[in-house]
Structure formats: C-alpha cells, structure tokens
Amino acid sequence: MTLSRTVVVPGMTAEYQSFIELLRGLSDEQWETPSRCAGWRVADVAGHVVGQLADVTSFRLEGLGTAEVTQRQVDERRGKAPGELADELQGVAETAGALVAAFDDDAWNAEGPQGNGTTLGFGLESLWFDTFLHADDIRAGLGQSTVAGDGLLPSVSHIAQVLTTQGWGPATLKLEGLDEFPVSGGAGALITGDAMTFILVSTGRAPASTLGLQDTVNIYR
C-alpha cells in the first residue's frame, strides 16, 4: 500500500531539494565520472532525474519509464553543466510542488494520469524512490557514502508494491528501522536485515545472495 499523501508530498519535495544541492556541489570532473548505472556518467543519471520530473510536470507521460524515453531525457540534457541542470530541476520542482498542493486524499487514491491502473500516490511515491536511488548511484560512483535520510521508507514501500504486482512472494519485509511491509499478502518468508542493502539487492545493484535471496527479487529483471 502506498504511503500517505502527508508523508510522500513533503518527503518527495525534500528529496528533490537534496538532489539539487547534490548537483550544485559537483565539479566538472565529477560530472563526467562513471556512475553505478552501467554506461551512464554522473551527468547522465542527473539528466534522467531532471528530465523525468520535467516530463511529469508537463504531462508528457507516454512511455515514461521505458528505456527509450529515459534515453531521450538524458540526450536532451547532454552537454549541460551541473548548475544548469540544478536550475532546471529547481524550476520543475517548484511546478510540481504547486501541482501536488492541490491534491486531496480522494485524488491521491484515484488512478493517476500515468494510467496502468496505479494510483496518483503510487506514481509520486515512485518518483521519490527513483530520485533517492539515483542520488545514491551518483554518490557510489564518486566513492561517497550513502545518505539514507527519509528515502528508505518510500523505497521499500515502492519495492514491496512492485514485487506484489510481479507475483513475488508471499513474504514480509521486516527491515531494520522500518515498519513491516507485506508482499503478495504478507506472511510467507520473513526478510530481515539492513534496509539499504535490501533496496540495492532488489534493484539489481547488489547480489541477491547478500541477503540469501534469489535473483527473482530484482524488480528490474
């Protein structure tokens, strides 16, 4: 189940502000450094994050999340400096903030403009997750430590929902510092351990064997 509007909206807003600050602190050399995402520089990861929110706020939603659209987001921003993308993200984040401020709980729980049967809340929670994870991709590429903050909660929530949709489980996620999240109705296998490690495992960024799981836990498989 998606987290509440009162949790996701301020959390997502803060995550984008953190990403803006991350970009503003990058040197030209760091900008060209390979990230944890295969084939992508730090600049490419940033281009996707900025482009994704720009597409969402302009309701350019067709194909969002596909490899083709993701590459287009990167290509449209190729050659831009960290400060330029930080400025663009600041602008589209302000637009997003104005849009989400108008949503009530009924809108939150209704099907979102992304279609595919998922709610508006699910779509916005997934943006928070994606931004948090890609910030960590950048930091990992630069040899910096993870900054977990509040991003663990929406990430595990999102992953639990995706795994449920994919028919994985049943299982219960009981990760350190977080409430339990059921997968495919809950119970089943009890998965414990570090929340960030689980996020990396379930997005293909760390071996599933790290937590004694099978590769099927990777939501991008």
Could you tell me the residue ranges of all domains in the chain? 5-122, 152-217
Query: Under CATH, to which class is 152-217 assigned?
Result: alpha beta
**Residue range 11-61, pLDDT digits in tens:** 999 999 999 999 999 999 999 999 999 999 999 999 999 999 999 999 999
- Work out the average pLDDT over 183-196: 96
From residue 120, how far is each of 14, 43, 72, 189, 197 by CA, in Å? 19, 29, 24, 30, 28
- Work out the average pLDDT over 123-137: 98
- Tell me the pTM: 0.96
CATH number of the domain at 5-122, out of 1.10.490.10, 2.60.120.10, 3.40.50.450, 1.20.120.450?
1.20.120.450
Mean pLDDT of the chain: 96
**Residue range 92-101, pLDDT digits in tens:** 999 999 999 9
Q: Estimate to the nearest angstrom the gap between the alpha carbon of 132 and the chain centroid.
A: 5
Is residue 201 within 8 Å of 215, Cβ to Cβ? no
Residue 112 DSSP symbol: P
Percent of the chain with pLDDT over 70: 100
Q: Predicted confidence band at 116 (pLDDT cuts at 50, 70, 90)? A: confident
